[in-house]
Amino acid sequence: MAEAGSAADFLPSQIDLPHLREAAQGCRGCALYRNATQAVFGEGPATARAVLVGEQPGDQEDGTGRPFVGPAGQLLDRALRDAGLDRRALYLTNAVKHFKWEPRGQRRLHRKPAAHEIRACRPWLEAELALLRPRVLVCLGVTAATAVFGRPVRLKDVRGLFSASPLAAATFVTTHPSALLRLRDRQGWEFEYQRLVRDLLLVRERLEAF
């Protein structure tokens, strides 16, 4: 069922990162706030030259209120390090700010956000990017790319390329680190990991070219 709401109704009157972050806690733009602990807003320096967009917070992010602190975040940290990028210099955020999940025994299993939820949450992302105006915007996975381009995209069509999007002139798409967490065979994992690191190296080169 599509919901009519949008985060646009919850934006603060003063648009800066601290006020946005605070206002997101009160967002009722879609139904996802109901089962989540808190909104997980973007994090990083306001002067960051690169912004990375993920899908949505996971279980640990929901608990701590910080993006990319769980298993996918740890893998991302490692790939960033291997590509020579310093996480502390980057701004990390998500296409959707509340954790969507379903119970599976004692665990909370991640569920993919629906198109209407991605759309409803986009005003936060738009506001973050309007303030940050990064030189490079990196979409981690298809949900992020769909949010950023404002239309459905296929990873294989856009991966590893820079192109203009409505949210940044230099927009780059790569895989989501959680896609690697699902790979069971070691060779496949190593191949995909090196591919992710190569993609992040392209981002670093682009940043250094400015």
Binding-site member from 17, 20, 23, 30 for ligand SF4 (CB under 6 A)? 30
Looking at residue 40, the DSSP 8-state letter turns out to be -
Nearer to ligand SF4, 21 or 98 (CB): 98
Would you give the binding string for ligand SF4 spanning residues 91-110, x where CB under 6 A is met? -----xxx------------
Residue 159 to residue 67: CA distance in whole angstroms: 23
Q: Minimum CB separation from ligand URA for residue 190, in Å? A: 21
Binding-site member from 17, 32, 85, 129 for ligand SF4 (CB under 6 A)? 32
Partner interacting with residue 72 (select from ligand URA, ligand SF4, none; CB below 5-8 Å by kind): ligand URA
Asked if residues 124 and 29 have their Cβ atoms less than 8 Å apart, the reply is no
| Chain contacts with ligand URA (rule: CB under 6 A) | 54-58, 61, 67-68, 70, 72-73, 94, 178
Q: Choose among 121, 134, 166: nearest CA to 45.
A: 134
Partner interacting with residue 51 (select from ligand URA, ligand SF4, none; CB below 5-8 Å by kind): none
DSSP string, 10-72: G--SS-SHHHHHHHHTT--SSGGGGGSSS----BS-TT-SEEEEES---HHHHHHS-TT-SHH
Partner interacting with residue 58 (select from ligand SF4, ligand URA, none; CB below 5-8 Å by kind): ligand URA
Would you give the binding string for ligand SF4 spanning residues 113-132, x where CB under 6 A is met? ----x--xx-----------
Residue 120 to residue 107: CA distance in whole angstroms: 27
Nearest 5°: CA angle at 17, between 40 and 56? 25
- 200 is a contact residue toward ligand SF4 (CB under 6 A): no
Partner interacting with residue 39 (select from ligand SF4, ligand URA, none; CB below 5-8 Å by kind): ligand SF4
Residue 15 to residue 131: CA distance in whole angstroms: 8
Q: Minimum CB separation from ligand SF4 for residue 34, in Å? A: 8
Nearer to ligand URA, 94 or 165 (CB): 94
The identity of residue 23, as a single letter, is: A
